[in-house]
Structure 1
């Protein structure tokens, strides 16, 4: 169950990175709404990470959390913010995914 909580925490990490990206593109009240979304999703992500680490090893949980966030943020960057999807970026993204799966596989 806590692995699911950890994955959801990672998805909220993607959400707070997305909010930062949107805030950078806006101004005025809309910018403050995106920053508000950042604070809310950051809080949820951290709360879920805390919950997951109550039973999962901290090193593995933190690495998986940041990995899920990194993979999701790169994909958001490519598909929403139109960042380049070069061969090397995709290659290293795949190796990151493999590392996340490997860490989960060897966790106690």
Structure 2
């Protein structure tokens, strides 16, 4: 948090957690993988990366 605003840091950690739990659900609990789910996960990753690039 020395280099990122608090809001961006929160979004980054929330995005990492959401992505990680979804991947674990698919791998460990055989949660379904669908095109909309993959699209949403891709959007989360791109959004987190975009915020990191913007806020530096």
Q: Common fold, TM-score beyond 0.5? A: yes
CA RMSD of aligned residues (A): 0.9
TM-score, length-normalised on structure 1?
0.49
TM-score, length-normalised on structure 2?
0.91
Is 1:76 paired with 2:34?
A: no
* Cα displacement (A) at 1:70: 0.4
**Distance in 1 between residues matched to 2:38 and 2:26, nearest whole Å:** 10
User: Matched residue pairs, number?
Assistant: 55
Larger radius of gyration: 1
Unmatched runs of 5 consecutive residues or more in structure 1: 1-52
Moved over 3 A (4+): none
Question: Higher relative contact order at CA 8 Å, sep ≥6: structure 1 or structure 2?
Answer: 2
